[in-house]
């Protein structure tokens, strides 16, 4: 994790843990997520306009893939920063962080 | 597909195939998709507020599951209506419709 | 399902429903499954010989893909035969068969 | 990774990298994989005995889940050992190991 000296009250109020590994790529992540939001709106338009089911399903697959790519990008930064920091600490802190990351990967695989 | 007697100009203009199997559940589908759109906006808020990576990944898994559930609902109606109609026709029309549905299922599995 | 006039005692004893849609492709399916069994044995050899973790994971992905392809082939025949037969019957029999197929697809997506 | 001073010629001949993170759980992994091999044989028996398609698909989902669980167990040990060792080294070695692990996770997600 980057050295954190957050003075951002609202962020702290939201219960976060301060700047994370993904912070440096925030703009990229937000861009991806806005595109996914747009895809969700596009799906609504398709349903409203009675577009053929199979074409809607193709678009759902594209959105799911976009979500998975976002998740993988976030996970990579998490491993490089949060998990790496825990590894340097070693001991139970490391085991805990790795177990937490594995649980997240498992949820992605099962979803 | 049901026999279509659509008089809806805008729908035809959008290049669709007329009312589909899912038409009767349109309101349900739109509600689901609006929720997914809301989740995509929620993810942007989480990134902006530096929420902990793992909590964001949990939310991504929930959104992916919601998309998959929508896809399964759509697919069920597609099989009950479009594929069923093709089955009654029989012959190459049926084979084609089933192959098309299988390709969609395969894309969902791989995404 | 096709009308069954199975006289194969052992098959009936195994509680099956008689010849299914996939019966005509039995040899293909068995070939695929023997290859998957071979891959499972190959994975054991890799673990025994301390092969690098990432190379084992690549092999696991290949085996999972092979299982999914087998499932899709089986599902396609199931829809063409069992579901199609139920569609011709219509009514609750059809709804039941489609719901059963959807549950199977959902299990594949979640696994 | 543990400090390796392998003098095992056959292992080296197999092109491996010496004892890996998963080595300490070898017996567990082999047990899991033997069970998966047994499931692949069970699937062949089901096809040979004309078992109902949906029941075969349920068994395929179980085998896929078993493969994924094995992959997750292996990946967890890989992160705790190989990736952790690379993290301590830092620099490009770490980035490379993390990228390699991410590619493996991505393949699992897409399979």
CA distance C5 to C35: 31
pLDDT higher than 70, residue A11 = no
Which tens digit of pLDDT belongs to each residue from A84-103? 888 888 889 889 999 999 99
For residue B60, give every residue at least 6 positions away whose Cβ sits within 8 Å of its Cβ, in sequence order, or none. A67, A68, A70, A71, A74, A108, B43
Nearest to A25 by CA among A66, A63, A80, A64: A80
Both tokens assigned to C110: 């979640």
Q: How far is CA A53 from the centre of its chain?
A: 28
pLDDT of residue A35: 98
Smallest CA–CA distance from A97 into chain D, residue: D80
pLDDT of residue D81: 87
Smallest CA–CA distance from B111 into chain A, residue: A65
Taking each helix axis from N to C terminus, what angle separates C53-78 and C91-110, rounded to the nearest 10 degrees?
170
Q: Is the Cβ pair B60, A78 closer than 8 Å?
A: no
Please indicate, yes or no, if residue D42 is contained in any of the structural domains. yes
Q: Is the Cβ pair B67, A67 closer than 8 Å?
A: yes
Rg, Å, chain D Cα set: 18
Rg, Å, chain A Cα set: 18
Please indicate, yes or no, if residue D35 is contained in any of the structural domains. yes
pLDDT of residue B4: 38
Residue C76 phi, psi dihedral angles, 5° rounding:
-60, -45
Q: Is the Cβ pair D74, C56 closer than 8 Å?
A: yes
Please indicate, yes or no, if residue A95 is contained in any of the structural domains. yes
Least confident of A14-18, C49-53, D76-80: A14-18
pLDDT higher than 50, residue D4 = no
pLDDT of residue D70: 97
Cβ contact A42:A62 at 8 Å: no
Question: Percentage of chain C surpassing pLDDT 90?
Answer: 62
First to last CA, chain D: 27
Smallest CA–CA distance from B61 into chain C, residue: C110
- Chain D residues whose CB is inside 8 A of the B111 CB are 110
pLDDT higher than 60, residue C29 = yes
Nearest to C84 among B75, B80, B87 (CB): B87
pLDDT of residue A3: 35
Other chains touching A, judged by 3 or more CB pairs under 8 Å: B, C, D
Smallest CA–CA separation between A56 and chain D, in Å?
20
Please indicate, yes or no, if residue D50 is contained in any of the structural domains. yes
Please indicate, yes or no, if residue A15 is contained in any of the structural domains. no
Mean pLDDT over the full length of chain A: 84
- Chain A residues whose CB is inside 8 A of the C110 CB are 110-111
Smallest CA–CA distance from A55 into chain B, residue: B104
Smallest CA–CA separation between C46 and chain B, in Å?
26
Q: C110 burial class (0-12, 13-18, 19+ CB within 10 angstroms)?
A: middle
Question: Percentage of chain B surpassing pLDDT 70?
Answer: 81
Least confident of B50-59, B100-109, C12-21: C12-21
pLDDT of residue B32: 97
Which tens digit of pLDDT belongs to each residue from C36-88? 999 999 999 999 999 999 999 999 999 999 999 999 999 999 998 888 888 88
Count of Cβ atoms closer than 10 Å to residue C24 Cβ: 11
Nearest to C60 by CA among D19, D72, D1: D72
How many interchain CB pairs under 8 A, A with C?
Answer: 3
Please indicate, yes or no, if residue B90 is contained in any of the structural domains. yes
- Chain A residues whose CB is inside 8 A of the D108 CB are 109
Nearest to D105 by CA among C109, A66, C57: C57
Please indicate, yes or no, if residue B8 is contained in any of the structural domains. no
Smallest CA–CA distance from D108 into chain B, residue: B110
DSSP-based three-state secondary structure for B8: coil
pLDDT of residue A64: 97
Q: Mark residue B84 as left, alpha or beta (left: phi above 0; alpha: psi -120 to 50; beta: remaining).
A: alpha
Average pLDDT over residues A7-34: 66
Domain range holding B87? Answer: 25-110
Grade residue B8 by pLDDT with cuts at 50, 70 and 90.
very low
- Chain B residues whose CB is inside 8 A of the A14 CB are 49, 51
Q: Is the Cβ pair A30, B37 closer than 8 Å?
A: no
- Chain B residues whose CB is inside 8 A of the D111 CB are 110
Smallest CA–CA separation between A30 and chain B, in Å?
6
pLDDT higher than 70, residue A69 = yes
Taking each helix axis from N to C terminus, what angle separates A53-78 and D91-110, rounded to the nearest 10 degrees?
150
pLDDT of residue D6: 38
Nearest to B61 among A21, A54, A107 (CB): A107
DSSP C65-102: HHHHHHHHHHHHHHIIIIIHHHHHH-HHHHHHHHHHHH
CA distance B44 to A29: 8
pLDDT higher than 90, residue C7 = no
Smallest CA–CA distance from D70 into chain C, residue: C60
pLDDT higher than 90, residue D2 = no
ipTM of the complex: 0.81
Grade residue D34 by pLDDT with cuts at 50, 70 and 90.
very high
Q: Provide the residue count of chain A.
A: 111
Nearest to C36 by CA among C61, C66, C56, C7: C66
CATH of the domain at B71: 1.20.58.1000
List, as ranges, residues 76-95 from C with C-beta within 8 Å of D: 77-78, 82
Reported as type and span, the H/E element at residue B64 is helix B53-78
List, as ranges, residues 38-77 from D with C-beta within 8 Å of C: 40-41, 43-44, 47-54, 56-58, 60-65, 67-68, 70-71, 74-75, 77
CA distance C96 to C105: 14
Mean pLDDT over the full length of chain C: 84
pLDDT of residue B3: 36
Grade residue A111 by pLDDT with cuts at 50, 70 and 90.
confident
Q: Is the Cβ pair C50, D74 closer than 8 Å?
A: no
Nearest to C62 by CA among C39, C32, C45, C33: C39
Nearest to D53 by CA among C24, B78, A109, C9: C24
Q: How far is CA B111 from the centre of its chain?
A: 14
DSSP-based three-state secondary structure for A80: helix
Please indicate, yes or no, if residue B10 is contained in any of the structural domains. no
Mutate to test the interface with D, among C1, C23, C57, C58 (most CBs of D within 10 A): C57
Distances (CA, A) of D66 to B2, B25, D81: 41, 36, 23
Residue located via tokens 């698909």: D57
Least confident of A50-59, D44-53, D73-82: D73-82
Domain count of the fold of chain B: 1
pLDDT higher than 70, residue C103 = yes
Rg, Å, chain C Cα set: 18
Average pLDDT over residues B46-50: 96
Average pLDDT over residues D59-88: 93
């Amino acid at each position: 994790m980057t050295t954190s000296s957050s003075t951002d009250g609202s962020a702290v109020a939201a219960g976060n843990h301060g700047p994370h590994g993904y912070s440096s790529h925030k703009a990229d992540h937000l861009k991806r997520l806005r595109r996914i939001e747009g895809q969700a709106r596009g799906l609504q338009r398709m349903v409203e306009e009675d577009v053929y089911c199979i074409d809607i399903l193709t678009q759902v697959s594209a959105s799911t893939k976009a979500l998975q790519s976002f998740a993988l990008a976030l996970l990579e930064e998490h491993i490089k920063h949060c998990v790496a920091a825990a590894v340097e600490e070693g001991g139970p802190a490391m085991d805990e962080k790795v177990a937490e990351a594995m649980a997240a990967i498992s949820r992605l695989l099962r979803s």
